Chains A and B, each alone.
Chain A
Amino acid sequence: MTSALLYDRLQFAFTATFHYLFPQLTMGLALLLFYLRSRALATDDDHYQQVSDFWTSIFALNFGFGVVTGIPLEFQFGTNWARFSTFAGGVIGQTLAMEGVFAFFLESSFLGILLFRKRFSRRLQWFAALMLFVGSWLSGYFILATNAWMQHPVAYHVGDDGRVFVNSLTGLLTNPWLFWQFAHNMTAAVVTASCVIAAVGAYYLLSGQHLPHAKTFLQTGVVAGAIASALMIFPTGHGNAKQVFEHQPVKGAAFEGLFTTERGAGLYLVGQPNLETMTIDNPIEIPNALSFLVYKDLYAKVKGLDAFPRDEWPDNLPLLYYAYHVMAGLGTIFAAIFGLALLSLWRDRLFNMKWLLWLLMLSAPFPYIATSAGWMTAELGRQPWLVYGLLRTAHGTSPLVHSGNALFTLIGFLGLYLLLGLLFVFLLGKTIGRGPGSIDSQTTYPA
């Protein structure tokens, strides 16, 4: 039973993390694609049409992988987490069903139009892009509403049999936790998409192909990336951290590596948590910074891990600490790179600055690492709870699915997703190699 719990957790963590590599680009790209299609419609020239078509084909490829890896997540609530589903279905069933009905249908219906766009007018293509944007962001909203409830349960009551039920749908959908979480997550998705667009632009420019398209990619990616990566840190990142310290102080103490309660607590930039001595080894610390960031007071008291019973600590402290620091560190680096790129773009120098183009090109994988680390922070930090304060993770599994079954399917997913990853990278490389303009955008039929 205990080992089944581990496999259940690993399987969900792995399939969810792998899945989220795709929708983060989908959601960010949906916004930028809508912008590009709007330009194509407004300028009525083939340049923006070609740019849009190129990113539509990458969007579609990415969306396809997102769909097939997304279905297992909804199923796993039932297959591996049956007691959790029984316990919390009365609440999260609402948001998950709303996601299906309001968002997923919208996305997949209108993607068909964009894929087979040759038949349709530019106006209809633009409309389909708008619907994809609305659908994918709504989808993100409902999924995050589900997660926000697990982080910070609101608008529920406990029934006679110990299960929980929603008692205000509006309360569930306007969970205060959700606001910062959604803002932070969606700006992160825009950072990922901006980074990818800018990186492909930088690649074309450095290798001397598709120059007009490359410049548009870079302009779009750098401007959107600079705005989004600034918003990542402030106010959305800050807002998230503040609400963690307010509602989940033990998670905050754990990811900051604050073992003991302190007045004027410092902020560790680097250092390794040592569970033997309960200290941070080799720290580089900004004195008083944590107290100031959380309470706007250099000498405020911040609760450390010692303020909480041991069985309420997140069960993997070092991993949580590193995940958080990887996320925060990368976020800062993105802001610096994009800031620099925006400045160079504004002063008309970016297209000649080889080293910065190289940097932009190589930065493409890192937003994926940052978002994965960010979600690890959120989810590992929620442990040992599945629903914060209400249901422990160990009490949420399926009682009759034994460890052998769970391990078998976990290994199956590992193998299958390795194949998926290889296929995706191969086909993405092919699409980028073919380049914009090769996708026939001239033959649009009037609708």
Chain B
Amino acid sequence: METLWFIVVTLMLAIFIILDGFDFGVGMVYPFVVRTEMERRTVLASIGPLWNANEVWLIAAGAVLFFAYPKAYAAGFSGFYLALILVLWLLIFRGLALELRSHVDHVLWKQAWDTAFTTASLLLAFVFGAALGNLIRGVPLNRDGYFFVPFWTDFQPGPEPGILDWFTVLLGLTTVSILAFHGANYLVMKTEGALYKRAVSTAWVMGWASAGCTVLTVTAVPFVQPSLRLNFAGHPMEYLVPLSGLFALGSSLYLRQRQRDTAAFLISSVFILLMLASVMFGMYPYILVSTTDPALSLTVFNAATDSYGLTTGFTWFGIGFMLVLAYQIYVYSLFWGKTRSDDAH
């Protein structure tokens, strides 16, 4: 049961990164693909009705983490205090940018929110990548199961690390490039004409950038977190997961070149899912690895709530999850196809 919830949380995070990831990506490539106000509106309308529900996957994943592994939630959220509050402020700005831009018809108002949208999307994508880097690298958990990391120390992933070191920065950049690729793929699917062409060339550049970053990251991980390497070495079949992830990235680039727009987007989603699944396989059973003493690490077993809670939760979660999938697919189907330029609200 403890393991099952680990898969659930990872799956929810993956759905968050895939869905909200494309609208973060749209935010990052936004200044590169739009030239006219009409194009800006089209791009914003392509994510307008969807981004909010996408972001709920983050909130829901956080809440499910809280429910299933209260200790990991408490330690992680208080330990990354400053970074998380920063994330909150950025999420607020990004939400406001998307909601408020259309309310006032003034060029400076629109430019200000456009800038806020792009900046917040970029920084958030970077921070989410760095956060994943922190989970892989580990944190200095103490005897009571808590830690507190500053923004940075000496930029080395040692026993007293900061939120930012060379490894987490690399993961941040990797995430930025992958989500920009993903978002550009989404725009290619949703747009036409000049906008379409610019989205295609952006997707091409970001696709190669993410290929480069991903290779660097995959090479770095075993050095930074040896337990991950041991985990994979113990179960060689698991190597298939990251390998098929890399294969998916390659296929996505190939499909991009063949102008199979929808397929390229779907395969870049699969790529993200497989990369997160690789991290999950590599980390299991650890949720938070301690850099000071491995015995102090939080695992899916010692951080979990009791078995009644986990079992009961599974019943309602199963129902709720199916419902959410059903109506989210329905809402997506309503907005399927190329976005019309008169689709603003």
Binding site for B on A (CB under 8 A): 60-61, 64, 67-69, 71-72, 74-75, 77-80, 82-83, 85-86, 88-90, 93-94, 96-102, 104-106, 108-113, 115-120, 159, 163, 165-167, 169, 398-401, 405, 409, 412, 416, 420, 423, 427, 430-431, 447
Contact = CB atoms under 8 A, between A and B. Distances in A.
B89 A416 contact: yes
Contacts, number: 215
A68 B95 contact: yes
B161 interface: no
A420 B93 CA distance: 10
25 contacts: A64-B95, A68-B96, A85-B70, A89-B67, A89-B71, A99-B63, A101-B63, A104-B59, A108-B55, A108-B56, A110-B331, A112-B48, A112-B49, A112-B50, A112-B52, A113-B49, A116-B45, A116-B49, A118-B343, A169-B316, A400-B142, A401-B78, A405-B81, A416-B92, A420-B96
B81 A79 contact: yes
- A-B pairs with the 8 shortest C-beta distances? A89-B70, A78-B77, A112-B49, A93-B67, A100-B60, A398-B78, A64-B99, A82-B78
Nearest to B61: A100
A93 B334 contact: no
A99 B95 CA distance: 20
A78 B85 contact: no
A108 B52 contact: yes
Contacts of A105: 53, 56, 60, 324, 327-328
Contact of A96 (B56, B67, B92): B67
A60 B48 CA distance: 12
Contact of B66 (A78, A102, A113): A78
Given A61-B99, A105-B60, A115-B49, A420 B66 contact: no
Interface of B: 45, 48-50, 52-53, 55-56, 59-60, 62-64, 66-68, 70-71, 73-79, 81-82, 84-85, 87-89, 91-92, 95-96, 99-100, 103-104, 142, 144-148, 305-306, 308-309, 312-313, 316-317, 320-321, 323-324, 327-328, 331, 334-335, 342-343, 345
A97 B313 contact: yes
B146 A90 contact: no
A430 B77 contact: no
B334 A113 contact: yes
B317 to A, nearest CB: 6
A447 B66 CA distance: 40
Contacts of B145: 86
A115 B343 CA distance: 10
A90 B49 CA distance: 35
Nearest to A120: B334
B73 A89 contact: yes
A71 B91 contact: yes
Contact of A85 (B48, B53, B73): B73
A119 B144 contact: no
Contacts of A412: 85, 89
A108 B226 CA distance: 41
A83 B345 CA distance: 44
Given A78-B66, A93-B305, A96-B66, A101 B60 contact: yes
A431 B146 CA distance: 48
B309 A90 contact: yes
Contacts of A430: 103-104
Contacts of B48: 112, 115-116
Contact of B63 (A68, A100, A109): A100
Given A75-B85, A93-B68, A400-B148, 4 more contacts: A97-B317, A100-B59, A165-B305, A399-B78
Contact of B78 (A79, A96, A115): A79
Contacts of A109: 53, 324, 327-328, 331
A174 to B, nearest CB: 14
B59 A74 contact: yes
A78 B73 contact: yes
Contact of B306 (A78, A90, A400): A90
A75 B77 contact: yes
Given A74-B59, A112-B53, A102 B305 contact: no
Contact of B70 (A68, A71, A86, A111): A86
B91 to A, nearest CB: 6
Contacts of B324: 101, 105, 109
A317 to B, nearest CB: 31
Residue in B99, B317, B328 with the greatest tally of chain A CB atoms within 10 Å: B99
B331 A89 contact: no
A234 B310 CA distance: 40
Contacts of B84: 75, 78-79
The winner among B53, B63, B334 for most chain A CB atoms within 10 A is B63
Contacts of A93: 63, 66-68, 70, 73, 305, 309
A67 B96 CA distance: 10
B79 to A, nearest CB: 7
Nearest to B306: A165
B144 A71 contact: no
A314 B186 CA distance: 55
A63 to B, nearest CB: 9
A85 B66 contact: yes
B20 to A, nearest CB: 11
B77 A82 contact: yes
Contacts of B87: 75
B85 A409 contact: yes
A69 B91 CA distance: 10
B40 to A, nearest CB: 16
Nearest to B89: A416
A97 B60 contact: yes
A80 B67 contact: no
Contacts of A167: 308
A341 B327 CA distance: 42
B343 A119 contact: yes
Nearest to A439: B345
Nearest to A124: B334
Contacts of B100: 64, 423, 427
Contacts of B56: 100, 104-105, 108
A116 B345 contact: yes
Question: Which of A85, A88, A97, A104 has the largest number of chain B CB atoms within 10 A?
Answer: A97
A78 B103 CA distance: 35
A402 B23 CA distance: 35
B111 to A, nearest CB: 16
Contacts of A423: 96, 100
Contact of A400 (B79, B104, B334): B79
B320 A102 contact: yes
